[in-house]
């Protein structure tokens, strides 16, 4: 009976986490970063690979894994791609993440690992970005797999494979390596009295081959992906160059306390309280339990401390970097959820009042996280008052494709091309215009602009374009992203045709 209950609980956690990630995936408007990722995926799919750009974007693994999913759904071109198909990949990665704590159930028990998995399943931060076609869900999955394997039995170079996959996903994997290395040194220093020379010698003999294999596996795995199966050797060189030449986008600098406010401090916005405070309290308690003098297995105690130091190291490094976005906190926060689950280690030995307090706190974590996840992916999914909806795309752009198709039906000849997009930072607009073939993107207006059937003007060019087309086009206000208005200018003959009574 007990085994059956445990199995049912694990299945319930996985199903709940999967539902939160897959339910109505295509509803939210496409984010600018999703649109650029989709364009890169389409180019790699249409050209059977492609060169890696070390100055922009990230590793090619997201696109390489998305291509088979697109082909499976018959989406082989840019014009055929859909949001639901592309977002399936991060949703799968986010769901697989919930299985990672299973690797530790023999060491810490089903209770702690069930809680860890449930916290990962319901975390609004992790749920939100598991529904977004960006690199973070893959990075979190491979990062947590690498973490668990490293702290269990790092044999046959398996940790290196996951680290190589992290590298092929995103260059920020280096921050995780630094945080893990620092955490390992701290744990070793704390246990220096227990680490006698004979123990160190035995550890070296036991781990020197696995470590060497892991280093080799990491290099081979990352190189194979960056070089498209070793067909383009320059990709391996560019993968290393990215640490020196990568160019970040301006406008994302934030204070050192950004992540603390995002996850630790309760904040009411849009009628919703957003906070992860109870999870942090559980995580802190899990760490403090390792400081007790009661006998505990050295390996289990050291592993919990390692996770705590690794989580703190991640947040410290990311907080010191001026460039900040919410999704950068996903991997560190997954560490925190795993650590919080460890708060139930030794639960049966605790006094009844403490057991009650821990159970109530764990319940509060799950209930509040579930509620926040539903709000974050529901009506607040593309609302800038949602702290996880970073520079969201305006909802009215979702009607653009349908309206342009209706407009095309009334135009003599049935074409609205060529289309002009004037200004910079226009993503995700290309995603919503992908059904058109003749589109020009200019930072400044071209000379023949008055002849263009449709013109989109971005904020940095709006005043100039609207003034230049005042007599030839009808100007319609449109939203692009939060804080980024846009003008759609329709040539007068087309607009007059659309405004005829039988067309309205």
pTM here? 0.93
In degrees and rounded to multiples of 5, residue 30 shows phi and psi of -70, 130
Across the chain, mean pLDDT equals: 89
Token pair 């709940």 is at which residue?
A: 16
DSSP, res 290: T
Residue 242 confidence (pLDDT): 87
pLDDT of residue 212 exceeding 50: yes
pLDDT of residue 390 exceeding 70: yes
Position 500 confidence tier, pLDDT thresholds 50, 70, 90? confident
Helix, strand, or coil (residue 230):
coil
Strands (E), 64-115: none
- Answer yes or no: do 314 and 226 share one domain: yes
Structural domain contains residue 293: yes
What percent of the chain lies above the pLDDT cut of 90? 65
pLDDT of residue 211 exceeding 90: no
pLDDT of residue 483 exceeding 90: no
Residue 153 confidence (pLDDT): 65
Average pLDDT of the segment spanning 274-302 = 82
Question: 43 near 77, Cβ under 8 Å?
Answer: no
pLDDT tens digits for range 395-439: 889 899 899 999 988 887 778 989 999 998 899 999 999 989 899
- Answer yes or no: do 371 and 468 share one domain: no
Question: 192 near 172, Cβ under 8 Å?
Answer: no
Segment among 79-83, 138-142, 483-487, 497-501 with least mean pLDDT: 497-501
Residue 179 confidence (pLDDT): 96
Give the CA distances from residue 315 to residues 136, 172, 240, 333, 373, in Å, rounded to whole numbers and listed in that order. 16, 13, 24, 9, 22
- Answer yes or no: do 286 and 358 share one domain: yes
pLDDT tens digits for range 168-192: 999 999 999 999 999 988 988 887 7
pLDDT of residue 152 exceeding 80: no
- Answer yes or no: do 76 and 118 share one domain: yes
Position 204 confidence tier, pLDDT thresholds 50, 70, 90? low
Structural domain contains residue 388: no
Question: 6 near 365, Cβ under 8 Å?
Answer: no
Rg (CA), the chain: 26
Strands (E), 134-270: 267-269
- Answer yes or no: do 358 and 457 share one domain: no
More confident residue, 82 or 48: 82
Residue 295 confidence (pLDDT): 47
- Answer yes or no: do 194 and 247 share one domain: yes
- Answer yes or no: do 361 and 399 share one domain: no
Give the range of the structural domain holding residue 447, as residue numbers without chain letter: 395-503
More confident residue, 163 or 238: 163
What percent of the chain lies above the pLDDT cut of 70? 93
Structural domain contains residue 467: yes
Position 314 confidence tier, pLDDT thresholds 50, 70, 90? very high
Position 344 confidence tier, pLDDT thresholds 50, 70, 90? very high
Segment among 52-56, 133-137, 214-218 with least mean pLDDT: 52-56
- Pick the last residue of a domain from 327, 351, 377: 377
Residue 503 confidence (pLDDT): 55
Question: 333 near 276, Cβ under 8 Å?
Answer: yes
pLDDT tens digits for range 468-480: 999 999 999 998 9
- Pick the last residue of a domain from 377, 412, 428: 377
- Answer yes or no: do 399 and 334 share one domain: no
pLDDT tens digits for range 15-51: 999 999 999 999 999 999 999 999 999 999 988 766 6
pLDDT of residue 139 exceeding 70: yes
Positive or negative torsion for Cα 349, 351, 356, 361? negative
Q: Residue 243 CA to chain centroid, in angstroms?
A: 20
Question: 276 near 334, Cβ under 8 Å?
Answer: no
Structural domain contains residue 87: yes
Structural domain contains residue 428: yes
- Answer yes or no: do 187 and 310 share one domain: yes
Q: Which of 242-246, 309-313, 343-347, 378-382 has the highest mean pLDDT?
A: 309-313
Q: Structure tokens of 292?
A: 């007790």
Structural domain contains residue 97: yes
Name, in order, each residue with C-beta under 8 angstroms of 308's C-beta and a sequence gap of 6 or more.
183, 283, 286, 287, 339
Position 387 confidence tier, pLDDT thresholds 50, 70, 90? very high
Residue 374 confidence (pLDDT): 96
pLDDT of residue 194 exceeding 70: no
Residue 105 confidence (pLDDT): 86
Residue 337 confidence (pLDDT): 97
What is the number of structural domains in the chain?
2
Q: Structure tokens of 486?
A: 């846009």
Angle in degrees, CA 479, 480, 485, rounded to 5 = 55
Give the strand pairing for 473-481 and 484-491.
antiparallel
Q: How far apart are CA 383 and CA 67, in angstroms?
A: 30
Average pLDDT of the segment spanning 124-142 = 97
Q: How far apart are CA 56 and CA 44, in angstroms?
A: 16
- Answer yes or no: do 355 and 433 share one domain: no
Q: How far apart are CA 39 and CA 34, in angstroms?
A: 9
Residue 203 confidence (pLDDT): 60
- Answer yes or no: do 282 and 314 share one domain: yes
* Secondary element (H or E) of residue 484: strand 484-491
- Answer yes or no: do 331 and 478 share one domain: no
Structural domain contains residue 485: yes
pLDDT of residue 90 exceeding 60: yes
Structural domain contains residue 41: yes
């Amino acid at each position: 009976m007990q085994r059956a209950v445990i199995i049912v609980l694990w299945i319930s956690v996985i199903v709940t986490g999967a539902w939160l990630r897959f339910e109505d995936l295509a509803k939210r408007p496409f984010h600018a970063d999703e649109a650029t990722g989709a364009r890169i995926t389409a180019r790699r799919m249409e050209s059977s690979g492609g060169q890696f750009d070390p100055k922009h974007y990230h590793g090619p693994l997201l696109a390489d894994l998305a291509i088979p999913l697109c082909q499976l759904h018959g989406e082989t071109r840019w014009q055929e791609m859909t949001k639901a198909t592309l977002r399936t990949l991060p949703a799968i990665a986010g769901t697989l993440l919930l299985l990672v704590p299973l690797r530790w159930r023999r060491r810490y028990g089903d209770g702690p690992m069930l809680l860890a998995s449930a916290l990962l399943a319901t975390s609004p931060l992790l749920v939100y970005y598991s529904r977004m076609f960006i690199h973070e869900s893959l990075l979190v999955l491979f990062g947590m797999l690498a973490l668990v394997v490293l702290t269990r039995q790092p044999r046959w170079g398996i940790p290196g494979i996951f680290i190589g996959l992290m590298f092929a996903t995103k260059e920020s994997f280096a921050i995780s390596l630094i945080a893990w290395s620092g955490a390992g040194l701290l744990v070793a220093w704390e246990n220096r009295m227990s680490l006698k020379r004979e123990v160190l010698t035995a550890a070296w003999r036991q781990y020197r081959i696995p470590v060497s294999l892991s280093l080799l596996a990491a290099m081979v795995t990352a190189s194979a992906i960056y070089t498209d199966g070793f067909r383009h050797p320059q990709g391996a060189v560019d993968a290393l160059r990215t640490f020196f030449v990568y160019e970040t986008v301006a406008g994302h600098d934030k204070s050192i306390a950004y992540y603390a406010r995002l996850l630790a401090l309760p904040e009411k916005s849009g009628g919703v309280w957003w906070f992860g405070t109870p999870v942090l309290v559980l995580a802190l308690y899990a760490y403090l339990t390792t400081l007790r003098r009661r006998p505990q297995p050295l390996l289990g105690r050291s592993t919990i401390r390692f996770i705590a130091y690794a989580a703190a190291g991640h947040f410290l490094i990311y907080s010191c970097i001026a460039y900040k976005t919410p999704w950068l906190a996903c991997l560190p926060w997954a560490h925190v959820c795993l650590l919080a689950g460890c708060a139930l280690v030794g639960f049966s030995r605790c006094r009844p009042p403490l057991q009650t307090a821990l159970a109530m706190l764990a319940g509060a974590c799950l209930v509040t996280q579930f509620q926040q996840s539903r709000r974050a992916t529901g009506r607040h999914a593309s609302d800038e008052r949602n702290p996880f909806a970073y520079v969201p795309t305006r909802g009215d752009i979702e009607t653009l494709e349908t309206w342009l198709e209706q407009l095309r039906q009334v135009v003599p000849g049935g074409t609205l091309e060529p289309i002009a997009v004037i200004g910079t930072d226009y993503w995700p607009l290309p995603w919503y215009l992908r059904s058109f073939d003749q589109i020009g993107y200019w930072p400044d207006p071209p000379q023949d602009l008055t002849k263009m059937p449709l013109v989109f003007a971005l904020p940095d060019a709006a005043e100039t374009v609207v003034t230049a087309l005042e007599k030839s086009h009808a100007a319609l206000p449109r939203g692009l992203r939060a804080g980024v208005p846009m003008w759609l200018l329709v040539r007068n003959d087309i607009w007059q045709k659309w405004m005829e009574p039988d067309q309205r």
